[in-house]
Structure 1
Amino acid sequence: MVCPQCGTEIPSGLQLCPQCGTAFSTNAAAGSTPPRAATGGDLPLAPHTDGKAIASLILGLVSFILSVLTGIPAIVLGHTSLSEIRRSNGRLRGRGMAFAGLAAGYVSLVLFVLILAAIIIPNVARARMDANQSAAAVTMRVLIQAQATYAANYPESGFAAGLATLGPGPDGSCTRPTAAHACLLDKEYKVLGSSVCTPGIWCTKDAYRFTLVPVGSPATDYILTATPLTENSGRRSYCATASAIIRSIYGDPLSAPPTTVQECESWSQI
């Protein structure tokens, strides 16, 4: 006979299993069958470390060298691993590795963004300054040409005494140009011909301020000046005289224009 509880062979006549002490009847023991031996498939599997967690950790550490090239995969694998570990009911380990890989990946991503910003932002600001300075130089050329045209049209007045003289007048009408309001500025530059832009008064166009000061009466020369609104708008101020040569000086925005033709002509020619 065989014990139905532990499978031990029972000598005839015994009513108790000598191995486990289970009581049984002779008939039950005789008709019983030995229990199925336990197989390896019935044993619980030992938990093992998730491969994605390991990969996330390795890629995260390497991301301090290769930045987002391995940092982004580390983040993706870290999140995937944590999700699989959470659903594994204890069969998978490696939560700490996945978190470490995630952290390293995110750190590399933040560092990449900061480095990129440190490179791009100054270049964008510099490009904006260059564009502002170029636009100011173009405006200077337009005003110089307007002055030459004014002197040719109104020789008795010499050059225009102020930017307002080159504009349309208080009513904005250009039906009848006069020496007082010559209407020599088109729509794009009309703001500089406003009636408030009298001699020595700064008038703004885009990122620069402009002013025109006559020399003599009638004006035999003039000092045309442009300076940035702020130090972030540009780093060059410009001036020009009847010589029609644009000159510049590098530095902070001017609070006042050059007071003499000689001062303007001491600046560097562009």
Structure 2
Amino acid sequence: MIDLQMQRPSDRRRRQAGFTLMELLIVISIMLILMLIAIPNMLNLRSQANETSAIQSLRAIYQSEIQFQTNYPANGFACSLQALGGDSNSGPPSATNSQLLQRDLATGVKAGYAFNIVNCTKTTVNNQDMYTGYEATAVPQAVGKTGHRGFCIDITGEIKADPAGGTNCTVPLQ
């Protein structure tokens, strides 16, 4: 049995020293390599989540447009997100404040995407404008960061994508 008091002082210091500089450098290097692998994957997951949110938001806009057309048949479809949105504190729903769309989406920006209603087709019936068609678009605020693809939906309810991140939507979603 070895008595600790009998050991040389240099042996005691060596056991109490802890990790060597080389061991710490190896651990830090491994952590950096793991971070370099994980961070791009995390950013890619975020842009995929934003794309999923954009698709669901376009479906919500489509549903709101159908409800708007049912509630205000003389107006047809809404040609702005503001007309689909609105604040319930500002009074009862109307054609300019229908309160059919959630507030954050009615502002036109949600989850890294910018939303808009474009290409409205209008006819005039009894001196009143009636919108008979529209296209809702969702474009990433920063292509490649907040999302990779742009999305569009029209009165048919089919969502199409633009792989370049714009509004030239030609690729149907699977």
Structure 1-normalised TM-score? Answer: 0.52
1:193–1:174 CA distance, 2 compared to 1 (3 A): farther
CA distance in 1, matches of 2:66, 2:119: 13
CA distance in 2, matches of 1:119, 1:269: 29
Q: Does 1:125 align with 2:43?
A: yes
User: Counterpart of 1:213 in 2: which secondary structure?
Assistant: strand
Q: Which residue in 2 is equivalent to 1:165?
A: 83
CA distance in 1, matches of 2:77, 2:119: 7
CA RMSD across the alignment: 2.7
CA contact (8 A) 2:120 2:132 kept: yes
Whichever residue aligns with residue 146 of structure 2, its letter is S
Match of 2:21 among 96, 103, 120: 103
CA distance in 1, matches of 2:70, 2:24: 68
What is the Cα deviation at residue 193 of structure 1? Answer: 2.8
More strand by share: 2
Q: Which residue in 1 is equivalent to 2:114?
A: 209
User: Counterpart of 1:216 in 2: which secondary structure?
Assistant: strand
User: Counterpart of 1:222 in 2: which secondary structure?
Assistant: strand
CA contact (8 A) 2:86 2:99 kept: yes
User: Counterpart of 1:173 in 2: which secondary structure?
Assistant: helix
How do 1:7-22 residues align onto structure 2 when only pairs under 5 Å count? none
1:141–1:248 CA distance, 2 compared to 1 (3 A): same
Match of 1:179 among 95, 103, 106: 95
Structure 2-normalised TM-score? Answer: 0.78
Whichever residue aligns with residue 98 of structure 2, its letter is A
Deviations 1:198-232 (A, max 9, x none): xxxxx212311100125221221111000111131
Q: Which residue in 2 is equivalent to 1:234?
A: 147
User: Counterpart of 1:180 in 2: which secondary structure?
Assistant: coil
Structure with the greater alpha carbon radius of gyration: 1
Q: Does 1:267 align with 2:171?
A: yes
Deviations 1:86-141 (A, max 9, x none): xxxxxxxxxxxx9xx82321221121111110121111111111111111111111
How do 1:40-79 residues align onto structure 2 when only pairs under 5 Å count? 50=11
CA distance in 1, matches of 2:153, 2:42: 29
Aligned residues: 160
Q: Which has the higher contact order (CA 8 A, sep 6+)?
A: 2
CA contact (8 A) 1:249 1:268 kept: no
Q: Which moved more, 1:157-166 or 1:173-182?
A: 173-182
Q: Does 1:219 align with 2:131?
A: yes
Whichever residue aligns with residue 148 of structure 1, its letter is I
**Unmatched 5+ residue regions in structure 1?**
1-46, 53-79, 85-97, 195-202
CA distance in 2, matches of 1:228, 1:81: 58
Deviations 1:65-94 (A, max 9, x none): xxxxxxxxxxxxxxx61757xxxxxxxxxx
Q: What is the aligned-residue identity percentage?
A: 27
Match of 2:66 among 145, 148, 152: 148
